[in-house]
């Protein structure tokens, strides 16, 4: 069952990336990446983790994604072979910040 969840999550991640880059025309949405998607066991919800390159665009970008959620979900429904299209929940992914902070601390420790 985990393989099916991973496969569906991969399809959702790829499809949403294509929809955002090719079809969504929102000037408030900057450069956004989707590093991970987690799907619930019954495929009714999908947590879409998003990260932004420019930190100043985070707040506007999250608002733009929330406003465009219906458009993204309808485009996703056309691409999925499942009975229901999952509800999308956009979550800000801050793992890059944590990774940079850990690397910075490790480099400081090496210098001592």
pLDDT score for 104:
79
- Classify domain 2-111 at the CATH topology level: GMP Synthetase; Chain A, domain 3 (3.30.300)
Tabulate helix, strand, coil % of the chain (nearest 5). Answer: 55, 20, 25
In the chain, where the domains are located: 2-111
CA Rg value for the chain:
16
* pTM of the full structure: 0.81
Residue 20: CB atoms within 10 A of its CB come to 22
Chunked mean pLDDT (size 10), the chain, 112 residues: 84 93 83 91 92 84 91 92 90 78 78 70
pLDDT score for 102:
80
Please give the Cα distance from 49 to 108 (Å, whole number). Answer: 30
pLDDT score for 112:
66
């Amino acid at each position: 069952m985990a393989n099916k969840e991973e496969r569906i999550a991969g399809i959702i991640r790829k499809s949403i990336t294509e929809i955002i880059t090719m079809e969504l025309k929102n000037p408030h949405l900057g450069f956004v990446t989707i590093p991970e998607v987690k799907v619930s066991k019954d495929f009714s919800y999908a947590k879409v983790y998003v990260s932004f390159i420019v930190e100043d665009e985070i707040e506007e970008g999250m608002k733009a994604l929330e406003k465009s959620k219906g458009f993204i979900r309808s485009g996703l429904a056309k691409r999925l072979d499942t009975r229901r299209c999952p509800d999308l929940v956009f979550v800000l992914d801050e793992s890059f910040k944590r990774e940079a902070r850990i690397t910075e601390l490790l480099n400081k420790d090496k210098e001592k």
